[in-house]
Amino acid sequence: MQPGLGRGGRRRAESLVRRVLGLAGLRPSDRLGQHFIIDDRAVGEFLKPITRAAEGGLREALEIGPGAGSITLPAAGVLDRIVAVELDRRLASALSTLAPPSVAVVVGDGLKYAAVSRAPLVYSNTPFNLSPAIVEALASNNRVSAAVLGVQYEVARRMVARPGSRDYSRLSVLVSLVFEAELTGVVKPQAYYPRPQVLTAVVVVRRLRRWRSLYSVAMELAGCAFTQRNKKASKVLRRCLEAAGCTPPRWLETLGDARVWMLEPWDFVRLAEACRG
Ligand SMILES: C[S@@+](CC[C@H](N)C(=O)[O-])C[C@H]1O[C@@H](n2cnc3c(N)ncnc32)[C@H](O)[C@@H]1O
C-alpha cells in the first residue's frame, strides 16, 4: 500500500488508485499536480453533474487528466464514449489496462485537446496550475456545450464573480461572456492521495453564447485592465487601448469615476468593437 492511502478497502476509488499507482510504479508528482481522489463521495461530486449532462443528451466526453481513473471508470457507466487525455505516460498505460472499450486513454496535453475537441462535454479534476488556461481553451471551442471542472476554490470564486465583487477578474469576464457557471460542490483535501494544500470546488459551466473572434481582443483588454483593478477605468482603458494600437472611443469619458472592478463584461466587448473600428 502507498503511504497515506488509508486502511482497508471500503472505498472503491481508494482501491482503484492503489491498484493503478502500483501498476504504474509511480510516486505522485507535484509538478503534474497529481492528487488522486480516493473518496467515493468526492467522486460523486463530479459524477452527479456528469450524469445530468448525459441525461440531457451530452453522451460523449473529453476528460483532461484522468490520473488513476477515479472519475473515469464511474463516468464510463453513464457516457457512451470518453477520450481521456493524460500527460503522464505511465499512468495512461496503467489506466488503459483497466478501462472499458468505450474509454480511449490517450497520452497528450489535455490543454491542446480542450481547444479542438469535438466532444460536447468536457470534464476534468484539473491540475490546478492549468485551470484558468483550460477554461479559456473551452470557451474558445464552440463545440463544447458544457464542462464539469474541479478547480481550486479561489479560482471557482473568480469564475462565478460578478462586477463589483472582490473576486471579479479577467477570468470572471471570460466566463460570463460565454458561459453560465455554477459552483455545485466542494471536495476537501482529505479526499485525495496525496492531500493538496487547498480546497477543490466543482464548477459546472454551460455555453450560453458562441465564442466570437472579437472576444480575443476583449480578453486582451480585460487582462490589461485588471492589472490595475482599483484604478479609474477610463484612464486605465485609455492606456490599454493605446498599447493595443486602438483609438480610445469618446464614450470612455462617460465611465466617470468608475473603477476597473465595476466594469460589466460587455464593456470589454464594446471596447473591442471600437478597437476594430
Ligand atoms: C488533480 S489530478 C486528478 C486526477 C484524477 N482525475 C482524479 O480526480 O483523481 C490531475 C491529473 O492531470 C494530469 N495532468 C497534468 N497536466 C496535464 C496535461 N497538460 N494534460 C493532461 N493531463 C495532465 C496529472 O498527471 C494528473 O493525473
ipTM attached to this prediction: 0.99
Residue ending a domain, among 207, 223, 248, is 207
pLDDT of residue 276: 81
Cα angle, residue 250 at apex, residues 248 and 255 outer, rounded to 5°: 95
120 lies in the same domain as 165: yes
Which residue segment(s) compose the domain that 183 sits in? 12-207
Residue ending a domain, among 207, 233, 267, is 207
Residue located nearest, by CA, to atom 27 of ligand 1: 67
Pocket of ligand 1 from Cβ distances under 6 Å: 32-37, 64-67, 70-71, 85-88, 91, 109-111, 125, 127, 130
Q: Is residue 7 part of a domain?
A: no
Q: Determine whether the annotation assigns residue 109 to a binding site.
A: yes
pTM over the 0.80 mark: yes
Q: Determine whether the annotation assigns residue 125 to a binding site.
A: yes
Quote the ligand 1 centre to 128 CA distance (angstroms): 9
Q: Determine whether the annotation assigns residue 71 to a binding site.
A: no
Quote the ligand 1 centre to 87 CA distance (angstroms): 7
Q: Is residue 260 part of a domain?
A: yes
90 lies in the same domain as 220: no
Residue located nearest, by CA, to atom 9 of ligand 1: 36
pLDDT of residue 1: 38
For residue 108, give every residue at least 6 positions away whose Cβ sits within 8 Å of its Cβ, in sequence order, or none. 85, 86, 87
pLDDT of residue 277: 72
Residue located nearest, by CA, to atom 12 of ligand 1: 65
Atom number in ligand 1 closest to CA 110: 20
Residue located nearest, by CA, to atom 10 of ligand 1: 127
200 lies in the same domain as 217: no
150 lies in the same domain as 123: yes
Quote the ligand 1 centre to 109 CA distance (angstroms): 10
Could you list the pLDDT tens digit for every one of the 277 residues in the chain?
343 344 433 489 999 999 999 999 999 999 999 999 999 999 999 999 999 999 999 999 999 999 999 999 999 999 999 999 999 999 999 999 999 999 999 999 999 999 999 999 999 999 999 999 999 999 999 999 999 999 999 999 999 999 999 999 999 999 999 999 999 999 999 999 999 999 999 999 999 999 999 999 999 999 999 999 999 999 999 999 999 999 999 999 999 999 999 999 999 999 999 988 7
Residue ending a domain, among 186, 207, 228, is 207
244 lies in the same domain as 193: no
Give the number of domains in the chain.
Answer: 2
157 lies in the same domain as 53: yes
